[in-house]
Amino acid sequence: MRSDFLEQIATLDVVCLAGGVGGAKLAEGLAQVVPPERLTVIVNTGDDFQHLGLTVCPDLDTVLYTLGGVANPETGWGRVGESWKTIKETDRLGGAAWFKLGDLDLATHLVRSQLLAEGQTLTAVTRHLCIHFDIQVQLLPMSDQPAPTMIASEEELLPFQIWFVRERWQPAVREVCLPQDVRATPQVMHALEYADIVVLAPSNPFVSIDPILHAYPIREMIMDLPRAVVAVSPIIGGKAVKGPAAKMMAELGMSASSKSVARYYGELIDGFIYDQQDAGQCDNLACSTLISDTLMVDAKSRVRLATELLQFALSIAE
Amino acid sequence: MRSDFLEQIATLDVVCLAGGVGGAKLAEGLAQVVPPERLTVIVNTGDDFQHLGLTVCPDLDTVLYTLGGVANPETGWGRVGESWKTIKETDRLGGAAWFKLGDLDLATHLVRSQLLAEGQTLTAVTRHLCIHFDIQVQLLPMSDQPAPTMIASEEELLPFQIWFVRERWQPAVREVCLPQDVRATPQVMHALEYADIVVLAPSNPFVSIDPILHAYPIREMIMDLPRAVVAVSPIIGGKAVKGPAAKMMAELGMSASSKSVARYYGELIDGFIYDQQDAGQCDNLACSTLISDTLMVDAKSRVRLATELLQFALSIAE
User: Which residues in chain B are closer than 8 Å to A132, comparing Cβ atoms?
Assistant: 92-94
Name the minimum distance, in Å, from the CA of B307 to any CA of chain A. Answer: 32
Of the two residues A154 and B141, the one the predictor is more confident about is: B141
| Nearest CB to A89 within list B54, B107, B117 | B107
The share of chain B scoring above pLDDT 90, in percent, equals 90
Per the CB < 8 A criterion, the answer to whether B152 and B173 are in contact is: yes
**How far is residue A86's CA from residue B293's CA, in Å, rounded to a whole number?**
39
Per the CB < 8 A criterion, the answer to whether A148 and A46 are in contact is: yes
**How far is residue B278's CA from residue B262's CA, in Å, rounded to a whole number?**
13
Instruction: Read off the pLDDT of residues A57-105 as tens digits, 9 standing for 90 and up.
Output: 999 999 999 999 999 988 878 999 999 999 999 999 999 999 999 999 9
| Nearest CB to A94 within list B52, B103, B132 | B132
Per the CB < 8 A criterion, the answer to whether B154 and B172 are in contact is: yes
Per the CB < 8 A criterion, the answer to whether A137 and A149 are in contact is: no
> Which chain A residue shows the shortest CA-CA distance from B85?
A103
Instruction: Give the pLDDT score at B310.
Output: 96
pLDDT at A1 over 60: no
The question of ipTM being above 0.90 is answered as yes
C-alpha torsion sign, points B296, B301, B302, B308: negative
Question: How many residues are there in chain B?
Answer: 318
CB contact under 8 A, A110 and B53: yes
To probe the interface with B, which of A111, A128, A130, A166 has the most B CB atoms within 10 Å?
Answer: A111
pLDDT at B60 over 70: yes
Instruction: Read off the pLDDT of residues B247-292 as tens digits, 9 standing for 90 and up.
Output: 999 999 999 999 999 999 999 999 999 999 999 899 888 899 999 9
- Name B167's Cβ contacts closer than 8 Å, sequence gap at least 6: B158
Instruction: Read off the pLDDT of residues A187-218 as tens digits, 9 standing for 90 and up.
Output: 999 999 999 999 999 999 999 999 999 999 99
| Nearest CB to B89 within list A95, A107, A128 | A107
Instruction: Read off the pLDDT of residues B120-172 as tens digits, 9 standing for 90 and up.
Output: 999 999 999 999 999 999 999 999 999 999 999 999 999 999 999 999 999 99
pLDDT at A3 over 80: no
pLDDT at A2 over 70: no
Q: Which domains does chain A have, with CATH numbers?
A: 3-49+136-317 (3.40.50.10680)
| Nearest CB to A132 within list B87, B94, B110 | B94
Name the minimum distance, in Å, from the CA of A82 to any CA of chain B. Answer: 10
Residues B178-207, mean pLDDT to the nearest whole number: 97
Query: Helix A58-67 and helix A21-33: axis angle, to 10°?
Result: 30
Per the CB < 8 A criterion, the answer to whether B62 and B21 are in contact is: yes
pLDDT at B2 over 70: no
Identity of residue A104: L
CB contact under 8 A, A86 and B110: yes
- Average pLDDT of chain B is 95
Name the minimum distance, in Å, from the CA of B159 to any CA of chain A. Answer: 15
CA angle B243, B245, B248 (to 5 degrees): 120
Quick one: pLDDT band at residue B1, thresholds 50, 70, 90? low
> Which chain A residue shows the shortest CA-CA distance from B106?
A86
CA distances from A42 to A14, A126, A246, A299 (A): 11, 11, 23, 21
- Looking at A4-18, A264-278, B45-59, B125-139, which range is the least confident one? A4-18
The share of chain B scoring above pLDDT 70, in percent, equals 99
| Nearest CB to B128 within list A92, A94, A129 | A94
Label residues A205-228 b or e (16+ Cβ within 10 Å = b): bbbbbbbbbbbeebeebbeebebb
Name the minimum distance, in Å, from the CA of A260 to any CA of chain B. Answer: 41
User: Which residues in chain B are closer than 8 Å to A95, comparing Cβ atoms?
Assistant: 107, 110-111, 114
> Which chain A residue shows the shortest CA-CA distance from B134?
A93
Query: Helix B103-117 and helix A85-92: axis angle, to 10°?
Result: 50
User: Which residues in chain B are closer than 8 Å to A124, comparing Cβ atoms?
Assistant: none
Name the minimum distance, in Å, from the CA of B114 to any CA of chain A. Answer: 4
CB contact under 8 A, A92 and B132: yes
Which residues of A make CB contacts under 8 Å with B? 50-55, 83, 85-87, 89-90, 92-96, 103-104, 106-117, 128-129, 131-132
Quick one: pLDDT band at residue A28, thresholds 50, 70, 90? very high
- Average pLDDT of chain A is 95
Instruction: Read off the pLDDT of residues A291-309 as tens digits, 9 standing for 90 and up.
Output: 999 999 999 999 999 999 9
CB contact under 8 A, B85 and A87: no
Instruction: Give the pLDDT score at A76.
Output: 79
Instruction: Read off the pLDDT of residues B23-53 as tens digits, 9 standing for 90 and up.
Output: 999 999 999 999 999 999 999 999 999 999 9
Instruction: Give the pLDDT score at A227.
Output: 81
C-alpha torsion sign, points B52, B53, B58, B63: negative
CB contact under 8 A, B114 and A129: no
**How far is residue B209's CA from residue B17's CA, in Å, rounded to a whole number?**
7
CB contact under 8 A, B111 and A52: yes
Quick one: pLDDT band at residue B207, thresholds 50, 70, 90? very high
To probe the interface with B, which of A64, A82, A89 has the most B CB atoms within 10 Å?
Answer: A89
CB contact under 8 A, B53 and A51: no
CB contact under 8 A, B93 and A52: no
CB contact under 8 A, A86 and B117: no
**How far is residue B37's CA from residue A93's CA, in Å, rounded to a whole number?**
22
The share of chain A scoring above pLDDT 70, in percent, equals 99
Peptide bond into B35 cis (omega under 30): no
Instruction: Give the pLDDT score at B227.
Output: 81
Quick one: pLDDT band at residue A55, thresholds 50, 70, 90? very high
Peptide bond into B217 cis (omega under 30): yes
CB contact under 8 A, A104 and B90: no
To probe the interface with B, which of A57, A92, A110 has the most B CB atoms within 10 Å?
Answer: A110
| Nearest CB to A50 within list B52, B87, B117 | B117
CA angle A124, A130, A134 (to 5 degrees): 150
CB contact under 8 A, A108 and B129: no
| Nearest CB to B93 within list A95, A96, A107 | A107
CB contact under 8 A, A114 and B53: yes
Instruction: Give the pLDDT score at A104.
Output: 98
CB contact under 8 A, B86 and A106: yes
pLDDT at A287 over 80: yes
User: Which residues in chain A are closer than 8 Å to B52, comparing Cβ atoms?
Assistant: 110-111, 113-114
